[in-house]
Amino acid sequence: MKKPTKKPKKQLKRKSKAKNSSSFVWLAVLFFVMLSLSLLPNESANEVEISYNTYKRLLSDGQIKEASIENDNSFHGELSAPATLINKNGAEFTDRTLFVVYLPADYAEQIKVWDEKNIEYNFEGEKIDWTSWLLGFAPWLLLIGFWIFMIRRMQGSNNGMNNVFSFGKSKAKMFSSKQKKVKFGDVAGCIEAKEELEEVIAYLKSPKKFEKLGGKIPRGVLLVGPPGTGKTLLARAVAGESNVPFFSISGADFVEMFVGVGASRVRDLFEQANKNSPAIIFIDELDAVGRQRGAGLGGGHDEREQTLNQLLVELDGFENSSSVIVMAATNRPDVLDSALLRPGRFDRQVVVDVPDLQGRHDILKIHTKKIKINKKSVKLHDIAKGTPGMVGADLANLVNEAALLASRKRKTTVDNNDFEEAKDKVLMGVQRKSMVLSDAEKKVTAYHEAGHAVVAIFSPEADPVHKVTIIPRGRALGVTMQLPLDEKHGYSKTYILSRLAVMMGGRSAEEIIFNEITTGASNDIERATSIARKMVCEWGMSDAMGPMSFGKKNEEIFLGREIQSHRDYSEQTAQQIDHEVVTIIKDAQKTSHKILTDHIDLLHLMAEQLLEHETIDEADIKLLVAGKKLSKKNNK
Ligand code: ADP
Ligand code: MG
Ligand code: ZN
């Protein structure tokens, strides 16, 4: 029994070392061992199992020298001289002395015979049959193995290091020097953020120098800004610039289905960082763990809260002991627990904002480095001008789209047309050329869009019309696109009223021309209504209601959405609000009506030209306003 077991055991060890104990391999090996054990002959390999008749013959012939009888009535005998034995299946074994036979239940009678024949015999307890004992465990082992396997699958880690027993280990990735480094040069714009972070890097490079001066360096830096503005990129740039160990983890990685895992991961993360100090810890999407406590749906003390508490503890704990800096990024600073933001924790907030014109230009420069552009036709500055409100991720996407379009057309370089097309695609949705509109539908759409455009042209402070098209895009039959001249950070009432008038312009044009209205304006009306309601309830722009805010938005923090707004006003006020909203919309409609009837010639001209050319741009509109028709080759 001992011999055969040794071999598989060795095998098992070797395998586990090589493969870093993938539990599944373990299981397979174990199973294999047991299988081979059960198939291999056991210790009594040399015993021939003989029939009872043969035994009786051997007994009466006096050939049996000694025997041991076990509990299971097995009679293990030894012959006084080697003989040829025939086992119970009829096979012949020559030169054997050992045999086994099973005695009848009551063999007391036989003892006398044994004494007679001078057999030395003794009784032994049954030997434990290890093989079957182990085999009995097989189903359980299989079950446990399966469970382990499932858990690993759920953890979704292919990492050998990450076996079942490292639940509580942080999943932080350490940036190695082998990875392609991001430098500050790869991040455009965000000048303030970069300055702030450069200070942090200077500190990490020589912490002693700073400490001598007695300066207190922020321990926690929180990058705050809308999605896609480059927060993650900035953090990676810090890692690339600072040459210290950089532990990066996403807030969501802390959250696991087992209670307490998140907290122990936090502990482990900080332990690791402390060991490697000076070091940087970066927690991306901090809001996943850092949300206001007491807001979960599942009672007050859920797993996420424990994790957050642990994070708070760790943030306090390492304050003076080591040079570890914690960075985090979020686009929802408003939902963060206030304890996270108090001095000593993430007290320094770095705003990474939507890029301005210069910023967009710089970002475009960085991203167009990787593609071949036609330097003569592509003016990055103009593209930057035409993409207000776009963030770094959008611009990166725009450049990529343009490159794809160019390659689809088998061009050698990316030119301005590709960028224009890509911009339209990103801003207005994908063209749906396959959608066939009837002539009547086209005509209505043309007047609808021309209506928007004409109202926009003659409204004070309205954004200039950039493009009008009746090619279906996305879910719309036509699009009128306005682009602001500059970035806007606040809006005047005049601007908003003009905007409402422009939105109503489409419907008004339909009314004036066809004396009929269509469903095409539903989206316009929806947007206009929501703006009008905000004017009354949030911006205090209604004369009748005064500068008051109505209704408190109740953030359902757990879901991260405004799913309800709490009413803090009376039924009567509610009616007044509704009345004001209706008045604002109706006024906007009247305004647009007036503008369109005053400029009905332009409306007709523009609709007609739209039907002919399908798309007209800013330059074309200037011609139309001057009363000129567009030439044929202007077909865009
Ligand atoms: P965030 O983390 O703020 O949501 P990311 O850092 O993930 O945004 O940015 C997404 C991508 O957008 C980056 O990988 C990069 O290609 C591009 N990007 C965003 N901001 C910038 C920027 N300021 N300069 C250069 N590229 C940027
Ligand atoms: Mg990010
Ligand atoms: Zn419309």
Q: Does 244 lie in the same domain as 280?
A: yes
Give me the domain span that covers residue 276. 173-351
Please give the tally of structural domains in the chain. Answer: 4
Which atom of ligand 1 lies at the shortest distance from residue 226's CA? 3
Residue that is last in its domain, among 319, 351, 383: 351
CA of 350 to the centre of ligand 1 (A): 15
Q: Does 537 lie in the same domain as 448?
A: yes
CATH number, domain with residue 103: 3.30.720.210
Q: Does 249 lie in the same domain as 123?
A: no
Per-residue model confidence as pLDDT tens digits over 98-147: 888 888 888 877 888 888 888 888 888 766 677 777 788 888 888 998 88
pLDDT at 449: 94
217 near 325, Cβ under 8 Å?
yes
Which parts of the chain sit beneath pLDDT 70?
1-24, 27, 34-45, 126-128, 154-180, 215-217, 256-259, 294-301, 318-322, 486, 552-567, 632-636
CA of 406 to the centre of ligand 2 (A): 29
Edge-to-edge strand list for the sheet holding 324-330: 173-174, 246-250, 279-284, 324-330, 220-224, 348-351
Residue 503 covered by a domain:
yes
User: In testing the pocket of ligand 1, which one of 183, 229, 353 has its CB within 8 Å of the most ligand atoms?
Assistant: 229
26 near 163, Cβ under 8 Å?
no
Count CA atoms closer than 13 A to 426's CA, side-chain side: 24
Instruction: State the catalytic residues.
Output: 449
Q: Of 92, 88, 3, 10, which is closest to residue 45 (Cα–Cα)? A: 3
Structure-token pair, residue 143:
């079950």
Q: Residue 189: CB partners within 8 Å, gap ≥ 6? A: 230, 355, 356, 358, 359, 360, 362, 363, 392
CA of 605 to the centre of ligand 2 (A): 48
Structure-token pair, residue 12:
């098992």
Residue 365 covered by a domain:
yes
Residue that is last in its domain, among 374, 402, 427: 427
Residue that is last in its domain, among 427, 460, 489: 427
Say how far apart CA 185 and CA 180 lie, in whole Å. Answer: 14
Q: Does 527 lie in the same domain as 503?
A: yes
Phi-psi label, residue 271: left if phi above 0, alpha if psi -120 to 50, beta otherwise: alpha
Q: Does 526 lie in the same domain as 450?
A: yes
Structure-token pair, residue 533:
């309601």
Residue 368 covered by a domain:
yes
CATH number, domain with residue 374: 1.10.8.60
Q: Does 388 lie in the same domain as 280?
A: no
422 near 398, Cβ under 8 Å?
yes
Number of separate helices (H) and strands (E) present in the chain: 23, 16
Q: Does 371 lie in the same domain as 282?
A: no
Q: Does 498 lie in the same domain as 591?
A: yes
Residue 118 covered by a domain:
yes
Q: Does 201 lie in the same domain as 112?
A: no
Q: Does 63 lie in the same domain as 209?
A: no
249 near 284, Cβ under 8 Å?
yes
Measured from the CB, is residue 188 less than 6 Å from ligand 1? yes
Q: Looking at the CA of 444, name the nearest ligand.
A: 3
223 near 327, Cβ under 8 Å?
yes
Residue 2 covered by a domain:
no
Cross-strand bridge partners of residue 572 = none
Q: Does 200 lie in the same domain as 117?
A: no
Which atom of ligand 1 lies at the shortest distance from residue 225's CA? 3
User: In testing the pocket of ligand 1, which one of 187, 233, 287 has its CB within 8 Å of the most ligand atoms?
Assistant: 233
Q: Parallel, antiparallel, or unpaired for β 173-174 and 220-224? A: unpaired
pLDDT at 296: 52
Say how far apart CA 342 and CA 43 lie, in whole Å. Answer: 72
Residue 294 covered by a domain:
yes
CATH number, domain with residue 465: 1.20.58.760
286 near 330, Cβ under 8 Å?
yes
Say how far apart CA 620 and CA 602 lie, in whole Å. Answer: 13
Measured from the CB, is residue 30 less than 6 Å from ligand 1? no
Residue 9 covered by a domain:
no
Q: Of 557, 615, 584, 19, which is closest to residue 335 (Cα–Cα)? A: 557
**Helix (H, G, I), strand (E, B), or coil: what is residue 124?**
strand
Residue 560 covered by a domain:
yes
Structure-token pair, residue 349:
């907030």
Say how far apart CA 528 and CA 560 lie, in whole Å. Answer: 25
CA 498 to chain centre: 40
Round the average pLDDT of the chain to a whole number and report it. 80
Handedness of CA 18, 19, 20, 26 (dihedral sign): negative
Q: Residue 517: CB partners within 8 Å, gap ≥ 6? A: 507, 510, 511
Per-residue model confidence as pLDDT tens digits over 175-200: 555 566 788 888 988 888 888 888 88
Q: Does 364 lie in the same domain as 346?
A: no
